[in-house]
Structure 1
Amino acid sequence: MTPSKKGMARVRFIALKDVITKELEQGYNRTDIFQKHHDALLMSYSQFTRHIQKFIVQPSVARSTNVQPIPNLVATPRSTIEEQPSPKRHSFTARPVHFDPDPDPDKIRHWLSPAPKD
């Protein structure tokens, strides 16, 4: 690959977008399409698949499902959003920590002893 200005690979992909779309619809797999157009695209295969996802797959999914834009929550005043705790979760309560700097020697022996065999 020869180095080029940033964004030129995207421009070359968009120029071939209709051809690539037709080949995908005809059943060609992405690797065959990439190998066929590699000299014209001058990009890596991973970038090629990202461009397919971004410029071919996602726009057709958005058209077919009638996706509505998500309202901007930043513009919504804070006072209109009511915060209610989830009924499934309980509020956090801290448990006391019992730290003994001089543990019982019997407990230490028990911790370091091998597990009993059944």
Structure 2
Amino acid sequence: MIRVEVTRDKRKCIKKVMVKGHSGYDDIGKDIVCAAVSGIVQTAVLGLTELLNISISLEMDEGFMCLILPANLEKDLCQKTGIILETMVLGLKEIEKVYTEYIRVVVKEGGV
């Protein structure tokens, strides 16, 4: 199962996203759940780094991805990152609704 952990700060802004595991829906290369999750998450990372030019902490490995936003983002930039990351969470939750056995999205409040 893929587990997505989204951590919000005290202001409810997303500050950390961790994705780990494999869905097990199908064989590697045929797994549509994994492909969908990867596409959504990687697009969000590209939005943050290429469109907003934010230097994020990013760790990626087979079956693992963790991104952490800088703590000192300006208010305007914080709002823009929120749009990208909240859209990512919406997409992941839609996948979870259909493929409940293969992905779990957990949102933690008040962390980081």
TM-score by length of 1: 0.25
CA radius of gyration, larger in: 1
Structure with higher strand content: 2
TM-score by length of 2: 0.26
Higher RCO (C-alpha 8 Å, min separation 6)? 2
